[in-house]
């Protein structure tokens, strides 16, 4: 049985284009330029996804460089939030790496996607199409971003929604988020999800820890030039 973790992602209103912690604080997000010029996402092989995870873990998000290295009782609130963000993101990439190492069949039924900033991998998504699910959807098994990248989460999510649309799943997504990260997904239009069906559609339930997005019925998403765009930010 593969080692499993929930999914993590962050979304902040400001942008840092750098991959160093000192330049990833909020005041570095004031530059006015279109992040889409530097961001691209694509479907990759399992081997490419593993290589991306390894690069993030060992090069661009090394545990010796990113966390605030001091006793917990000495950290202020911002530093604690930063460390939480780092450790959650690191955990996703580490989980993917562990699964590839110890389970030969890891991800054989799944699809892998990587988001790049200037050709450097900054995030990974592993997902599984659920064609027999009611409604059919794309389940995000893992969804993680480099802790130093800001304002990129919604771009990667846009890509996943459109991938679901391309697969004939109408953009629908489902995810089980890490505790404390639910706000990102809710801001993007996700709602609690359960297995109670009504007219072949699952209805939200406050008691369920799964989140569900149906962009065709959500005011935060519009189809523009044949592709879903998130307009809620």
Measured CA distances, 232 to 98, 148, 185, 218 (Å): 35, 22, 12, 10
Q: Which residue has the tokens 């580490």?
A: 94
Q: What tens digit of pLDDT does each residue of 66-98 get? A: 888 777 777 888 888 888 889 889 999 999 999
- Give the span between the Cα atoms of 195 and 153, in whole angstroms: 27
Angle 135-209-175 (CA atoms, 0-180°, nearest 5)?
Answer: 55
Predicted local distance difference test score (pLDDT) of residue 15: 31
The 3-state DSSP class for residue 114 equals: strand
pTM above 0.95, yes or no: no
User: What average pLDDT values come out for the chain (233 residues) when binned by 10 residues?
Assistant: 40 36 34 74 96 95 80 80 88 93 87 95 96 88 91 93 97 90 91 57 57 95 96 77
Sequence spans of domains, the chain:
38-66+76-230
Predicted local distance difference test score (pLDDT) of residue 12: 33
Out of 3.90.850.10, 3.20.20.140, 3.40.630.30, 3.40.50.2300, select the CATH number for domain 38-66+76-230.
Answer: 3.40.630.30
């Amino acid at each position: 049985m593969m080692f499993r973790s929930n999914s993590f992602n962050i979304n902040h209103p400001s942008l840092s284009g750098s991959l160093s912690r000192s330049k990833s604080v909020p005041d570095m997000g004031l530059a006015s330029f279109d992040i889409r010029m530097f961001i691209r996402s694509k479907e990759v092989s399992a081997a490419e996804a593993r290589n991306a995870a390894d690069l993030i873990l060992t090069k661009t998000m090394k545990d010796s460089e990113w966390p605030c290295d001091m006793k917990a009782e000495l950290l202020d609130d911002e530093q604690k939030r930063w460390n939480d963000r780092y450790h959650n993101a690191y955990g996703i990439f580490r989980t993917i790496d562990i699964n590839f190492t110890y389970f030969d069949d890891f991800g054989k039924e799944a699809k892998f996607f990587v988001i790049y900033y200037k050709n450097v991998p900054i995030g990974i998504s592993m997902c599984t199409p659920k064609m027999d699910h009611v409604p059919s959807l794309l389940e995000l098994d893992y969804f993680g971003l480099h802790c130093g990248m800001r304002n990129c989460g919604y771009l990667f999510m846009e890509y996943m929604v459109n991938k679901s649309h391309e697969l004939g799943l109408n953009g629908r997504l489902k995810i089980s988020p890490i505790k404390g990260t639910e706000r990102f997904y809710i801001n993007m239009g996700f709602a609690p999800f359960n297995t109670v069906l009504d007219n072949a559609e699952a209805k939200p339930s406050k008691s369920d820890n799964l989140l569900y997005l149906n962009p065709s019925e959500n005011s935060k998403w519009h189809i523009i030039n044949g592709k879903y765009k998130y307009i809620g930010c």
